[in-house]
Amino acid sequence: MPRISFAELKAEFKRVLIKKGCDEATADLSAQLMTETSCDGVYSHGVNRFPRVVEYIDKGYIDLAAEPVKVEGMGAFERWDGRRGLGNTNAHAAMARAIELAQQNGIGAVALANTNHWLRGGSYGWQAAESGCVGICWTNTQPNMPAWGARDRRIGNNPFIMAVPRKEGHVVVDIAMAQFSYGQMENKALRG
Protein backbone atom coordinates (compact mmCIF):
# COMPACT_ATOMS: atom_id res chain seq x y z
CA MET A 1 0.00 0.00 0.00
CA PRO A 2 1.50 3.39 -0.94
CA ARG A 3 2.22 5.80 1.90
CA ILE A 4 1.16 9.41 1.55
CA SER A 5 2.32 12.02 4.03
CA PHE A 6 -0.12 13.92 6.23
CA ALA A 7 0.78 17.18 4.48
CA GLU A 8 0.27 15.72 0.98
CA LEU A 9 -3.08 14.14 1.83
CA LYS A 10 -4.38 17.29 3.52
CA ALA A 11 -3.22 19.44 0.59
CA GLU A 12 -5.06 17.20 -1.89
CA PHE A 13 -8.31 17.20 0.11
CA LYS A 14 -8.05 20.98 0.41
CA ARG A 15 -7.20 21.48 -3.28
CA VAL A 16 -10.27 19.50 -4.40
CA LEU A 17 -12.60 21.28 -1.96
CA ILE A 18 -11.38 24.70 -3.11
CA LYS A 19 -11.74 23.64 -6.76
CA LYS A 20 -15.34 22.66 -5.99
CA GLY A 21 -16.00 26.16 -4.59
CA CYS A 22 -15.18 25.90 -0.88
CA ASP A 23 -13.58 28.91 0.82
CA GLU A 24 -10.00 28.38 1.97
CA ALA A 25 -10.61 28.38 5.74
CA THR A 26 -13.47 25.85 5.55
CA ALA A 27 -11.54 23.68 3.09
CA ASP A 28 -8.52 23.74 5.41
CA LEU A 29 -10.53 22.64 8.46
CA SER A 30 -12.42 19.95 6.54
CA ALA A 31 -9.17 18.66 5.03
CA GLN A 32 -7.48 18.66 8.46
CA LEU A 33 -10.30 16.60 9.98
CA MET A 34 -10.37 14.09 7.11
CA THR A 35 -6.59 13.74 7.12
CA GLU A 36 -6.46 13.16 10.89
CA THR A 37 -9.18 10.53 10.49
CA SER A 38 -7.31 8.79 7.68
CA CYS A 39 -3.95 8.92 9.44
CA ASP A 40 -5.58 7.46 12.57
CA GLY A 41 -6.53 4.47 10.39
CA VAL A 42 -10.25 5.22 10.06
CA TYR A 43 -10.18 5.23 6.26
CA SER A 44 -13.92 4.53 6.04
CA HIS A 45 -14.64 8.05 7.31
CA GLY A 46 -11.64 9.81 5.77
CA VAL A 47 -9.98 9.07 2.45
CA ASN A 48 -12.49 6.36 1.44
CA ARG A 49 -15.46 8.63 2.15
CA PHE A 50 -14.05 11.64 0.30
CA PRO A 51 -15.33 10.59 -3.17
CA ARG A 52 -18.86 10.54 -1.74
CA VAL A 53 -18.36 14.03 -0.26
CA VAL A 54 -17.35 15.24 -3.74
CA GLU A 55 -20.33 13.43 -5.29
CA TYR A 56 -22.69 15.10 -2.80
CA ILE A 57 -21.18 18.51 -3.59
CA ASP A 58 -21.70 17.87 -7.31
CA LYS A 59 -25.31 16.75 -6.74
CA GLY A 60 -26.07 19.83 -4.61
CA TYR A 61 -26.61 17.86 -1.40
CA ILE A 62 -23.77 19.81 0.22
CA ASP A 63 -23.80 23.61 0.03
CA LEU A 64 -20.18 24.70 0.38
CA ALA A 65 -21.20 28.30 1.07
CA ALA A 66 -23.51 27.37 3.97
CA GLU A 67 -22.56 28.09 7.55
CA PRO A 68 -24.52 26.83 10.55
CA VAL A 69 -26.89 29.28 12.24
CA LYS A 70 -28.39 29.25 15.72
CA VAL A 71 -32.14 28.60 15.61
CA GLU A 72 -32.89 28.92 19.32
CA GLY A 73 -31.32 28.56 22.71
CA MET A 74 -32.08 28.45 26.38
CA GLY A 75 -29.16 28.79 28.78
CA ALA A 76 -26.69 25.99 28.14
CA PHE A 77 -28.85 24.37 25.43
CA GLU A 78 -28.97 25.46 21.79
CA ARG A 79 -30.40 24.23 18.51
CA TRP A 80 -28.57 24.95 15.26
CA ASP A 81 -29.36 24.58 11.54
CA GLY A 82 -26.44 23.31 9.45
CA ARG A 83 -28.07 24.57 6.23
CA ARG A 84 -26.74 21.53 4.29
CA GLY A 85 -23.13 22.58 4.84
CA LEU A 86 -20.12 20.30 5.07
CA GLY A 87 -20.89 17.84 7.83
CA ASN A 88 -17.48 17.73 9.45
CA THR A 89 -17.05 21.50 9.67
CA ASN A 90 -20.65 21.89 10.90
CA ALA A 91 -20.06 19.27 13.60
CA HIS A 92 -16.77 20.93 14.57
CA ALA A 93 -18.58 24.27 14.94
CA ALA A 94 -21.34 22.65 17.02
CA MET A 95 -18.79 21.07 19.36
CA ALA A 96 -16.89 24.37 19.64
CA ARG A 97 -20.15 26.05 20.69
CA ALA A 98 -20.97 23.23 23.15
CA ILE A 99 -17.51 23.67 24.70
CA GLU A 100 -18.06 27.41 24.98
CA LEU A 101 -21.44 26.85 26.65
CA ALA A 102 -19.92 24.28 29.03
CA GLN A 103 -17.17 26.69 30.03
CA GLN A 104 -19.81 29.34 30.81
CA ASN A 105 -22.45 27.11 32.43
CA GLY A 106 -20.79 23.88 33.53
CA ILE A 107 -22.67 22.02 30.77
CA GLY A 108 -23.27 22.71 27.10
CA ALA A 109 -25.54 20.93 24.67
CA VAL A 110 -25.91 21.73 20.99
CA ALA A 111 -28.31 19.96 18.63
CA LEU A 112 -27.45 20.29 14.95
CA ALA A 113 -29.96 19.56 12.17
CA ASN A 114 -30.00 19.84 8.39
CA THR A 115 -26.38 18.90 7.84
CA ASN A 116 -24.41 16.25 6.00
CA HIS A 117 -22.35 13.26 7.13
CA TRP A 118 -20.09 14.36 10.00
CA LEU A 119 -17.51 11.73 8.97
CA ARG A 120 -15.65 10.39 12.05
CA GLY A 121 -17.67 11.27 15.13
CA GLY A 122 -14.64 10.63 17.32
CA SER A 123 -13.09 13.83 15.94
CA TYR A 124 -15.54 15.85 18.02
CA GLY A 125 -14.93 13.72 21.11
CA TRP A 126 -11.22 14.48 20.75
CA GLN A 127 -12.10 18.16 20.28
CA ALA A 128 -14.00 18.16 23.60
CA ALA A 129 -11.27 16.27 25.46
CA GLU A 130 -8.53 18.56 24.11
CA SER A 131 -10.55 21.47 25.54
CA GLY A 132 -10.75 19.81 28.95
CA CYS A 133 -14.40 18.84 28.58
CA VAL A 134 -16.20 15.53 28.75
CA GLY A 135 -17.87 14.98 25.40
CA ILE A 136 -20.87 12.88 24.48
CA CYS A 137 -21.88 12.85 20.81
CA TRP A 138 -24.28 10.86 18.69
CA THR A 139 -26.17 11.15 15.46
CA ASN A 140 -28.77 9.35 13.42
CA THR A 141 -28.09 7.45 10.21
CA GLN A 142 -30.05 6.34 7.22
CA PRO A 143 -31.50 2.84 7.55
CA ASN A 144 -28.64 0.61 6.46
CA MET A 145 -29.08 -2.57 8.51
CA PRO A 146 -31.87 -5.13 8.72
CA ALA A 147 -33.23 -5.82 12.16
CA TRP A 148 -32.54 -9.37 13.32
CA GLY A 149 -34.50 -11.76 11.13
CA ALA A 150 -35.63 -9.06 8.69
CA ARG A 151 -35.03 -8.93 4.94
CA ASP A 152 -34.77 -5.20 4.34
CA ARG A 153 -32.94 -2.28 5.92
CA ARG A 154 -34.94 -0.61 8.67
CA ILE A 155 -32.44 0.47 11.31
CA GLY A 156 -29.27 2.55 11.32
CA ASN A 157 -26.04 1.77 13.11
CA ASN A 158 -25.91 5.12 14.83
CA PRO A 159 -22.50 6.15 16.18
CA PHE A 160 -22.03 7.03 19.83
CA ILE A 161 -18.95 8.83 21.16
CA MET A 162 -17.79 9.35 24.74
CA ALA A 163 -14.67 11.37 25.56
CA VAL A 164 -13.01 12.02 28.89
CA PRO A 165 -10.01 14.31 29.25
CA ARG A 166 -7.07 12.99 31.29
CA LYS A 167 -3.56 14.30 31.74
CA GLU A 168 -2.31 10.70 31.26
CA GLY A 169 -4.02 10.61 27.85
CA HIS A 170 -7.62 11.20 26.89
CA VAL A 171 -10.10 8.35 26.69
CA VAL A 172 -12.23 8.52 23.55
CA VAL A 173 -14.68 5.75 22.66
CA ASP A 174 -16.19 5.96 19.15
CA ILE A 175 -18.53 3.06 18.41
CA ALA A 176 -21.37 2.02 16.14
CA MET A 177 -24.53 1.02 18.01
CA ALA A 178 -25.02 -2.08 15.87
CA GLN A 179 -22.96 -5.19 15.38
CA PHE A 180 -21.46 -3.92 12.12
CA SER A 181 -20.19 -0.52 11.07
CA TYR A 182 -21.50 0.48 7.64
CA GLY A 183 -18.22 2.28 6.92
CA GLN A 184 -16.22 -0.84 7.78
CA MET A 185 -18.50 -2.90 5.53
CA GLU A 186 -17.69 -0.46 2.72
CA ASN A 187 -13.96 -0.89 3.50
CA LYS A 188 -14.32 -4.67 3.15
CA ALA A 189 -16.14 -4.26 -0.17
CA LEU A 190 -13.34 -1.99 -1.45
CA ARG A 191 -10.84 -4.75 -0.59
CA GLY A 192 -12.96 -7.34 -2.42
Q: Is 45 labeled as catalytic in the residue annotation?
A: yes
Q: Which residues contact 60 (CB under 8 A, 6 or more apart)?
A: none
What CA–CA distance (Å, rounded) separates 7 from 2? 15
158 by Cβ neighbours in 10 Å (0-12 / 13-18 / 19+) ranks as middle
The answer to whether 171 and 29 have CB atoms below 8 angstroms apart is no
73 by Cβ neighbours in 10 Å (0-12 / 13-18 / 19+) ranks as middle
Rounding to the nearest 10 degrees, give the CA dihedral for residues 57, 60, 63, 69.
Answer: -140
The answer to whether 92 and 129 have CB atoms below 8 angstroms apart is no
Active-site entry in 45, 92, 117, 170: 45
Beta strand residue intervals within the chain, DSSP E: 69-74, 77-81, 109-113, 135-138, 145-146, 153-155, 159-164, 171-176
Whole-number CA gyration radius for the chain:
17
Could you list the active site residues? Answer: 45
